[in-house]
Structure 1
Amino acid sequence: MHAEKLFEKMKAIIERAGYPLLSSYKVDFYVHDREYLRQNDAPGVKFMWIVRESGTYLCRLSVAPRVNAEVDYAIDIHDANRREVYLLDRDAGTVKLLDDTAAKRRLKEFDYKVGRCTISRKGERIAVADIRLTSWTNGKPPTGTVHCHTGQMQFPLETLYALRSLAVYFVIEATHSLFTATEKIFIEGTDINELIAAHPQPVIYPEVLARGALHQGSLELLAA
């Protein structure tokens, strides 16, 4: 499993003798970072990882500015002498130390573009998101469900992971609260987690690419 091999290389860095960082909040790495790697373990995926004296930050690159925001902010607010920034390449299994200039440049490179309710990949619109929120009930805060209308069911695994991340941010932006939970995410009526679990990990089927061109007009109508 690529994610686990990458995690072991990250662990070798922070556990080497005399390593000056991550003296506290180690759960960020051993629990949260490990799970985040597992939840985004797909061909072509890269990450940026910040190690501080207290805790870590980890994000998948190339999805959208809102996904990178926390890591970008962490680079700005934390003393460069008290943190390290790494580029993680899932396919190559490499963990490379970056300077701030290189890190900032990578944080501005995106495969996806997000509009008010649309998601495009490398210039082609691939989904229109319908965000549905529950109401406050008996003191229970609202939660969100996102229905992605795509005109297709087959996507590369990395795109499914990207859609899942972006759906969460759509819900957060709709309620202006980081604490709003996303209950369900659907792709054309199918739970996205079911699609991920059953995915054979191809890039994308040629016949799906042909169908995608036919559905492009319908997506534009949905987004209007």
Structure 2
Amino acid sequence: MSQPSDILFEKMRAVVEAPGYPLLQHYKQDFYQHDRQTLQETYAPGMSYLWVVRAHGTDLEPLHIDRRASERALVALNQCAEARSYVVSEAGVREVTRQQAKERLAKFDYEVRDGFVMKNGTVNLGFIEVNCMPGRGQRKTTVHYHSAQARDSLSERDLVALNRIAVGQAIVQAQSLFVPCLDVTYNGESIAAPKRRLEALCEA
């Protein structure tokens, strides 16, 4: 049975493989490899993405979660005047104007405020602690959330958000874009995405 992320990918494929579609003429691995991987590793019920398609590549970023992701999507949007932007969600793939894309990129359901991750402005998901450790040639990090809430109270989307926020905070604390994030825990329980993905997020 197809996974929800596979169904979304096929809907996106129908856009770029439509006869006469003028974009994505080069760097097609952005779509067929990287965008597909993003869907597989970040999809959760209720998740939506901004998908930017250019003549030379694509960029797919989760919406309303991570300021770094929104900044990357905004750069992709501004790289090419002919770029098209789409909102990808359980409802399908819908093209939006450049202004609509920017408005969506400016809205966040999760924010770090005084060291706490807040959801929808009022729900405290926990205090974030970043530990930086010396390593051979570069520092390494682990990120720990401390919360009065139980791990079981988190939604799949919450877990995606906490992982991505953890990587962003690790980068800030280590002052390096290339710092590996080795683990993410919530009240002592690992919630980390696969190690290779955490490291890739740090390097993005």
Q: TM-score, normalised by structure 2?
A: 0.87
Aligned-pair identity in percent equals: 31
Whole-Å separation in 1 of the counterparts to 2:63 and 2:151: 24
Q: For the aligned residues, what is the CA RMSD?
A: 1.5
Contact 1:64 1:114 in 2 (8 A): no
Q: Which of 32, 35, 44 is the aligned partner of 2:34?
A: 32
Give the match for residue 182 of structure 1.
Answer: 181
Pair 1:84 & 2:81 matched: no
Give the match for residue 173 of structure 1.
Answer: 172
What is the letter of the counterpart of residue 2 of structure 1?
P
Contact 2:74 2:102 in 1 (8 A): yes
1:162 match: secondary structure: helix
Unaligned runs of 5+ in 2: 194-204
2:71 match: secondary structure: helix
What is the letter of the counterpart of residue 115 of structure 1?
R
The superposition leaves residues 60-100 of structure 1 with CA deviations (integer Å, 9 ceiling, x where unpaired) of 11113233110012223322x2x1100011x22x1001111
Whole-Å separation in 2 of the counterparts to 1:13 and 1:67: 23
The superposition leaves residues 117-172 of structure 1 with CA deviations (integer Å, 9 ceiling, x where unpaired) of 221001222111110111143xx211111011122212011001110111011111
Q: Which of 129, 144, 147 is the aligned partner of 1:147?
A: 144
Contact 2:66 2:164 in 1 (8 A): no
State the aligned residue count: 188
What is the letter of the counterpart of residue 47 of structure 1?
Y
Give the match for residue 96 of structure 2.
Answer: 98
Unaligned runs of 5+ in 1: 195-224
Contact 1:28 1:56 in 2 (8 A): yes
Give the match for residue 14 of structure 1.
Answer: 16
1:11 match: secondary structure: helix
List structure 1 segments (4+ residues) > 3 angstroms apart after TM superposition: none
Pair 1:58 & 2:57 matched: no
Whole-Å separation in 1 of the counterparts to 2:175 and 2:25: 33
Whole-Å separation in 2 of the counterparts to 1:127 and 1:69: 24
2:8 match: secondary structure: helix
Whole-Å separation in 2 of the counterparts to 1:183 and 1:55: 30
Give the match for residue 47 of structure 1.
Answer: 49
Contact 1:50 1:57 in 2 (8 A): yes
After superposition, the Cα gap between the structure-2 partners of 1:43 and 1:97, relative to the gap in structure 1 and judged at 3 Å, is same
Give the match for residue 199 of structure 1.
Answer: none
Contact 2:44 2:156 in 1 (8 A): yes
Contact 1:112 1:119 in 2 (8 A): yes
Give the match for residue 215 of structure 1.
Answer: none
